[in-house]
Amino acid sequence: MTDSGLVKAVQRNYQSSMTEHYRSHLDGTNINKTSMLTTDYLNHFSGVLMLIEMLPADPEGFAEDVLEWSPMTYEEHFEVTGFRDKELAIKAYEHAPTDVRSAFDEVVNQLNDTLVDVLNRVQTSVETKQTEELSQFCSEITPGVRDLIGKAADIVNDGTTNVVELALEAEEELVDDVQDEIDALFD
């Protein structure tokens, strides 16, 4: 075994040991033992989605609240939340199985990118008083955002079950949906 091969083997063994160590502390928490993630983080996205869904009813009233949202990493969310086991949630995330964390992070990145695009559109629509277009846009974009939140929740709750397929499926759907929405805005 080469030196780099030995280093990689030691790193894998360390990661595996730390994963099992943190997994052993998850009983009695809201952190999934298989994925080592918690759906509490998804509240960060669900909250803004709810505001986006309400936006057509009162664009000027809800726009300020929607525009206050900004992406937060998993760790940042738990640093500012009242989640009882926030330190454990952060450590468990750091030592979650690589395939699960990668798939989860991919869906979260898609959510962040989509929501930043939505916020830009909301900002422009409110500034230009295009409330009818904004209402239509919100109605069309929210199902895709809801689906991404659902895919992230599936990864949290199902652990390694189909994580790669879920992430690839979410990426393909999002690219198609967002491009369709953008194209429709310029037609």
pLDDT of 150: 96
- Which residues fall within 8 angstroms of residue 55, CB to CB, at 6 or more apart? 62, 63, 66, 122, 134, 135, 138
* Structural domains in the chain (count): 1
pLDDT of 10: 77
pLDDT of 37: 97
Which tens digit of pLDDT belongs to each residue from 96-141?
Answer: 999 999 999 999 999 999 999 999 999 998 889 888 888 889 989 9
| 8 Å CB contact between 75 and 37 | no
For the chain, how many residues are written? 187
Residue type, position 167, single letter: A
pLDDT of 8: 77
**Alpha-carbon distances, residue 63 vs 28, 47, 67, 119, 126 (angstroms):** 39, 13, 6, 9, 7
pLDDT of 153: 96
**Residues 185, 183: Cα–Cα separation, whole Å:** 5
Domain range for 62 is 3-186
Model-level pTM? 0.79
Which residue, 187, 160, 172, is CA-closest to 98? 160
Residue type, position 4, single letter: S
Q: Where are the alpha helices (DSSP H) in 128-159?
A: 131-158
pLDDT of 12: 77
SS3 category, 131: helix
| 8 Å CB contact between 42 and 148 | no
Which tens digit of pLDDT belongs to each residue from 150-159?
Answer: 999 999 998 6
pLDDT of 143: 95
| 8 Å CB contact between 155 and 166 | yes
pLDDT of 130: 86
**Residues 59, 116: Cα–Cα separation, whole Å:** 17
pLDDT < 70 stretches in the chain: 1, 159-187
| 8 Å CB contact between 141 and 181 | yes
